[in-house]
Amino acid sequence: MDINTAILTSKIVAVVRLDSYERAVDVARALQRGGVPVLEFTLTGRGAIDAVARVRSELGSSVHVGIGTALSARDTEDAIAAGAQFVVTPALRPDVIACCKRHSIPVACGALTPSELLEAHELGADFVKLFPASVGGPRYVKDVLAPLPFLKIIPTGGVSPENARQYLDAGAVAVGLGGNLIPAAAVGSGDFAAVEHAARACAAAVR
């Protein structure tokens, strides 16, 4: 299954944002067991790019691994070289989109306003990451899609098991979940059963 299809099928992109990715493989395994096989490691933490390589090596095709918070073409090149299967930005980053297009790697480009979302799409982004989604909520997704129904929107930031279905019903193709899916305290204590449990709850919420 290619990554675009995986995202559209799973309907969840797990945003793994940790200070350090020493336990990345354990986190990925817990998410996969819980029914969330698409995940990104954000570049705000130490060892994110190495985590991509380790997870792909140990878990193979059972998960789809990307890099998040990509701000430059250089970061993107490094991530792709390590095996990142997709790239996510927090804002409109034309150089990141161009880099991904050169490598035929899917990219979800961050944007907020209708103008930014449309520009990201026109620059070639496969998905547009509405961030922070909490600013407008599901109603904002519905309002944006009324004149721009071709956008493949992935709301991120403030999405939870309680409101994920509302975003999908409003027209989003998937949702990005971070802290509500990967509790940092659970990872720190090695409680990966809690991560698996949260993943199951999120997966059930979008079905």
Q: Which residues are catalytic?
A: 40, 129
Q: Would you list the DSSP string of 71-87?
A: -SHHHHHHHHHTT-S-E
The half-sphere exposure of 40 on its side-chain side, counting CA atoms within 13 A, is 31
Q: How many helices (H) and strands (E) does the chain have?
A: 10, 8
Alpha-carbon distance of 120 to 97, in angstroms, equals 8
Q: Is 127 helix (H, G, I), strand (E, B) or coil?
A: strand
Token pair, residue 150, equals: 């071709």
Alpha-carbon distance of 75 to 57, in angstroms, equals 20
Residue type, 62: S
Length of the chain measured in residues: 207
Sign of CA dihedral 137, 186, 197, 30: positive
